[in-house]
Amino acid sequence: MRVKVLFATVAQVIFFILLSQGADAVVRWLNLPIPGTILGILVLFALLELKVIRLDWIELGSKWLLAEMLLFFIPATVGIINYKSLVVHQGLSIALVILLSTLAVMLCAGLTGQWLSARQGEGGGRS
């Protein structure tokens, strides 16, 4: 049983790899102004909504890819060692920018969301 799940996962991951290469090829060929991954998301989402592809055909593969997403970014993150002087000289300013901006985003999105959902609540929607 576990072998079966493993094979299904591998096959589905290969499907995602092929889809991503196909999407890249189409973007290059048609000179589209969006990244191949976005085209891939839109096409796959449409195929799922139109029931051309059933969720259980690709669910195992997508679960694995999403669960291990962090692993795939490790090489890019480790690349920061090429920017030692940037980290030393501007690391603190960069961290401060990220901190303040993240706070601003949280307040902006959170308070707007709170206000809009309270208004809907008054109108008899869900709380």
Contact (Cβ atoms closer than 8 angstroms) between residue 56 and residue 15: no
User: What minimum distance in Å lies between the beta carbon of 46 and other proteins?
Assistant: 9
Interacting residues of 72 by C-beta distance below 8 A, sequence separation 6+:
none
DSSP secondary structure string for all residues of 59-127: HHHHHHHHHTHHHHHHHHHHGGGGGHHHHHHHHHHHHHHHHHHHHHHHHHHHHHHHHHHHHHHHTT---
The residue (of 28 and 59) whose beta carbon lies closer to other proteins is: 59
The residue (of 8 and 48) whose beta carbon lies closer to other proteins is: 48
The residue (of 5 and 111) whose beta carbon lies closer to other proteins is: 111
User: What minimum distance in Å lies between the beta carbon of 74 and other proteins?
Assistant: 5
User: What minimum distance in Å lies between the beta carbon of 126 and other proteins?
Assistant: 8
What is each CA distance from 5 to 8, 12, 56, in whole angstroms? Answer: 5, 10, 12
The residue (of 6 and 86) whose beta carbon lies closer to other proteins is: 86
User: What minimum distance in Å lies between the beta carbon of 124 and other proteins?
Assistant: 14
